[in-house]
Amino acid sequence: MAPVQAGSHGYDYDLVVIGGGSGGLAAAKEAVSLGKKVAVLDFVDPSPRGTTWGLGGTCVNVGCIPKKLFHQAALLGESLHDAACFGWNIPERKSITLDWPKLRESVQNHIKSVNWVLRVELRDKKVEYINARGSLIDAHTVHAKLKNGTERELKTDHVLLAMGGRPIYPDIPGALENCITSDDIFSLPEAPGKTLVIGAGYIGLECAGFLNEFGMDATVMVRSTVLRGFDQQMAGLITEEMKSRGVKFLHKTVPVRMEKQADGKIKVTWKSVENNSESSDLFDTVLMATGRRPLTLEVKADQVGVKLHPDSKKVVCDRELTNIPNIFAVGDILEGKPELTPVAIQAGKLLAQRLYNNGKIEMDYDNVATTVFTPLEYGCCGLSEEEAIRRHGEDNIEVYHAFYKPTEFFVPQRSPARCYMKVVCLRAAPQKILGMHYIGPQGGEVIQGYAAAIKMGLTMEALMDTVGIHPTVSEEFTRLWITKRSGIDPTPQSCCS
């Protein structure tokens, strides 16, 4: 196949993408399929610990994919107890241990295979891949600095910023020298041992969850709120579930300093945000999960005039278009948009269609489903109860809810105490659904289908009129009838009540 030629605009490329993550690659491949000449620049600066990785961005290398595989390893460990109860001859659980190096090797081998497939796919689709650090010189010129020090300038009609972000290291004595982040946890050569996770967002909770299930001591330090931005009733249930499994929480505390000891352990000193009293403990590993920062300053977006939010430094834009007419942005660097891989992919594809194929469809950032992969998963779509009340008023909102008992929990006598779901909807008929929330097994699988229904305008009347598949956990949504306003106990009496 002959090389793809750029359009008649006089530049070398139709599109240059800075960032080889999910959103950037999706846009690049879509643009090439429409006959455009595209280059993708991707370069990973090592973490402070020295961790680096290949093509594919955060999700493939240090995010969604390894996280889900570690979560699956934790679920398999839990299932060993269940298997014995169902008649399988399993050794005593205490004699079964996790081989961390084997888990790490298996997961990293899978990641490397994905890196390779992505490289081959770009080659086959005639996307020019440049392993270089990209930055903006002006609205139509991208500077590329290759690993060997070689430099290039790429002239392009359009630029797409898709660099994503990296974990934040707070300005705390000893943090940079002694802590790791999610950039490092999945490639540690040895098990992390007793671990302090600083931060109670979804990354922190997921990591603490699988470490605890692996039999390691895990503690979560919480400055203010667990799962900020999520429904707080559900966040409270997740917290209680994790505590019941052995995860410890240090509420209303912040780290003060980290000090490496002679034996290699890390002494962490923290203080209460309520009375400033200090405490300390020794840990084998400290994982910093206090948020992420966009890589907008690294690519010099501000220096060419791209409008950034003054606090977050994320790109402020409309329909993925920045304030500079030919510079676009997708993914985690967008201010006020969900930091989710499927969101970046969808936005990238739709943007390429609008740019090069007269596409009219714009990215819809509302009602995007997501799941927190804690040991008992939390899947949700739409508004939290708090946000629904804020937007519509408490008198105009109805909340249907129920605890439920998964059938597979009965024989091994697993506690269903936090298996809970609720639907937040408008009070007036036909009660349009604003949000659905679920805690239980397979949260992501359960909530995904309902997300499509919510997009289509699902109402509570239609949900109640739907016949569920029995026995499943998802059918419990179709059986909801108790409202919070009624005051009736939402605890079920039997699996088929």
DSSP one-letter string for 320-345: TB-SSTTEEE-GGGBTTS---HHHHH
Which residues are part of a known binding site for FAD?
A: 68, 134, 332
Residue 46: cis peptide before it, omega within 30 degrees of 0:
no
Residue 226, number of CB atoms within 10 A of its CB: 21
Catalytically annotated residue among 110, 251, 392, 470: 470
| Whole-angstrom distance, CA of residue 261 vs CA of residue 265 | 5
Which residues are part of a known binding site?
A: 68, 134, 199-206, 291, 332
Q: Which uninterrupted H or E stretch holds 40?
A: strand 38-41
- DSSP code for 316: P
Structure tokens at 305: 């005039």
Which residues are part of a known binding site for NAD(+)?
A: 199-206, 291
| Whole-angstrom distance, CA of residue 191 vs CA of residue 66 | 15
Distances (CA, A) of 309 to 170, 224, 452: 20, 24, 32
The single residue listed with the structure tokens 């440049």 is 130
Residue 232, number of CB atoms within 10 A of its CB: 15
Residue 430: cis peptide before it, omega within 30 degrees of 0:
yes
- 49 sits in the region (left: phi over 0; alpha: psi -120 to 50; else beta) called alpha
Angle of CA points 81, 84, 88, to nearest 5°: 140
Q: What is the CA radius of gyration of the chain?
A: 24
Structure tokens at 399: 């909340």
| Whole-angstrom distance, CA of residue 134 vs CA of residue 161 | 10
DSSP one-letter string for 88-147: -----GGG----HHHHHHHHHHHHHHHHHHHHHHHHHTT-EEE-EEEEEEETTEEEEEET
Q: What is the dihedral of CA 179, 185, 187, 191, to 10 degrees?
A: 90
| Whole-angstrom distance, CA of residue 229 vs CA of residue 45 | 30
| Whole-angstrom distance, CA of residue 159 vs CA of residue 173 | 39
Structure tokens at 163: 């660099």
| Whole-angstrom distance, CA of residue 422 vs CA of residue 436 | 6
Annotated catalytic residue 81: no
- DSSP code for 186: G
Name the residues annotated as catalytic: 470
